[in-house]
Structure 1
Amino acid sequence: MFKFNEKPEYRAHEDAFILLRKLFYEFGQTRTCKILNKCCMYFHICGYLLQFYYIYRHPNTDVFRYSFGLANMAYAITCMIFYTILDKDIDKIYQVLDSSLWSVHSVQPHVSKKIQNQSKKFKYLYIYAILVVQVVGGVAHLSIWGSHSELQLSVLAFKAFFGSWSRIIEHFYFCTFLYLAYVILRLPLLLLYVFLQLEIQFILLNRHILCISSNHNEEHVHNEVAQRDIKRKTIFCVKQHLVLKKVAMQTFEVVKPTMPIFLLLGILSSVTFMIILLLDLKSLSTISIVRLFFLVWANVIIWLTFCEAGQKIMDQTGATFDTIVKCSWYNWDIKNRRFLLMFMTNSENPLRLYLAGITLNYKLIVNMYRISFTNALVFYNLNQNS
């Protein structure tokens, strides 16, 4: 165990999720990635507007068939725009996070090992699986595997407006999907990384809260030296608790403005997919079904990651209050008990990432897909009756 009057030194090699940091934060903050992001953003905005102009010029276009592709592209473009806007804010969050981390080895060896094993399990079963499938999905969208005309309106728009040059533009357009496969995951995984680190830090904090008076008993209630020691340890834990809450709140402030837009686009993507599922799935070619699978996979993973991050921070901040209650406060004097009550009050309510009554947790993803299926069924019935 470390001394309560000094910060446990954190080393980068302890980071079980270093791949997320390197790939989605450090690479994303490089000049090369920023230039690539802006180029792709402007290119796809132009392509997106061109598709709507095509719909305007060809009002008989089957919009329902291409709605899923349009909805997903809207999400990707929105992500690229937000990265341009939130670039500095993300950098500040990570700087504050780095300065607040405790070493995982600051607790008992068996606890440290348990934390590391859980982190590795999550890394292999969740993070690596996401990245591998996402890369395969990006490759599957290359034009060499077959035409995108069944799902992507851009193919028809390019042919209509660029004629013989459309094939070259089409190849370039779908090559950028490799970057889009990266960009659509970046924000949820940046958020997940922060909350995974905070989860570990709250676990460490809770272990140290339990150790505040572990060496004291009822005989030390009137012992001034023992009570000063308890007070010093408590203050040390309170400071760390406030720092972690500050990191979480700063992250909330960055993510909150994006929630309504991403929620709307998420529901729109889900509704349009279910419309395709109900109307056109049998008419699609094999490669189109494969591509559709990867698009749906990305859609589900994005929201699952958002909700996983929100649920983790809610669970761990709620556990802090439960840990404080377990402290042997009966060995503390009146002043320290009052201080403990203040600590309890400050940690009573778990931190929740919410906006307008919508909380980012597991319930959200269930409700979102329930709403999506209901709306898709309404559209399907309207289409059948028309």
Structure 2
Amino acid sequence: MVTGYLYSIPSLIFLYVTCNVQFRYEVLNELMENLLEEGEMEDADFQRKIFSNLKLCIMVHNQNKRLACRMLDLTGGFTLCLCLLSIVSFAALSFFVLTNISPKSNIRILVSLIVNIITLLILCEMSDKLYVVSTKLFENGINCPWWNWNKENRKILLIFLINASKPIRINGFNIIDANYALILRVTINIISVNTLKL
């Protein structure tokens, strides 16, 4: 019982930090959508407004990227361990449930299996949401009406696009990416192994 709590506390902290980073990126996406309005190239007030909004977007994006990189550095080992433990326990527990080795303890094993599946699903869901939000930021930058902007604003937009071109991925030291492809591969491998053993 105690190990269940110890297993869930880092998961909840990781979930909180990931939701915080995702929220920050959604706010930044709204800031970028404010740049989509069209204006005259000769209008100095419009160009100053675009300049100040772009500077704000770059500043917020740098803060978000620093926080995300710090989060990924701190949780790289946790993500790797969580993915590997979930995969191994998912495989072992599904084998025990499918083969009825110990019918008396199947309920406890099934509950543990459900907790592992939910933990892995939450991790992969948060990773995919963060990837989509950070990719949308780059797409919003591409869709800006840069042809109505002066040369200085175009340069700032290019700097922003270079910084936003790499979306955020939650991974364990670049070994395992936590995404839905991981869940599909694990499920296919476990089903094939359990089919061979049955």
Change over 3 Å in CA distance of 1:213–1:374 after alignment to 2: closer
Distance 2:93 2:175 in 1: 26
User: Helix, strand or coil for the counterpart of 1:211?
Assistant: helix
| Worse-superposed segment, 314-323 or 256-265 | 256-265
TM normalised by structure 1 equals: 0.47
- 1:338 has 2:161 as partner: no
Contact 1:275 1:377 in 2 (8 A): no
Q: Which among 87, 100, 116 is matched to residue 299 of structure 1?
A: 116
Distance 1:362 1:305 in 2: 10
Change over 3 Å in CA distance of 1:253–1:332 after alignment to 2: same
Counting matched residue pairs gives: 197
Distance 2:161 2:148 in 1: 17
Change over 3 Å in CA distance of 1:356–1:327 after alignment to 2: closer
Shift of residue 340 of structure 1?
0.6
What do the CA deviations read for 1:110-169 (whole angstroms, capped 9, x no partner)? xxxxxxxxxxxxxxxxxxxxxxxxxxxxxxxxxxxxxxxxxxxxxxxxxxxxxxxxxxxx
Instruction: Give, as a single letter, the amino acid of the residue that structure 1 aligns with 2:155.
Output: R
Shift of residue 375 of structure 1?
3.4
Instruction: Give the unaligned 5+ runs of structure 2.
Output: none
Shift of residue 266 of structure 1?
2.1
- 1:314 has 2:134 as partner: no
Shift of residue 264 of structure 1?
2.9
- 1:188 has 2:11 as partner: yes
Distance 2:158 2:75 in 1: 31
What do the CA deviations read for 1:234-276 (whole angstroms, capped 9, x no partner)? 1011110111111111111112123443333222212211221
Alignment of 1:363-378 (within 5 A): 363-378=181-196
Match of 2:103 in 1: 284
Contact 2:91 2:190 in 1 (8 A): yes
Contact 1:192 1:309 in 2 (8 A): yes
Which of the two has higher C-alpha Rg?
Answer: 1
Distance 1:261 1:345 in 2: 32
User: Helix, strand or coil for the counterpart of 1:212?
Assistant: helix
Contact 1:311 1:362 in 2 (8 A): yes
Contact 2:97 2:110 in 1 (8 A): no
Distance 1:375 1:231 in 2: 58
Match of 1:202 in 2: 25
TM normalised by structure 2 equals: 0.88
Higher relative contact order (CA 8 A, sep 6+): 2
Distance 1:265 1:203 in 2: 31
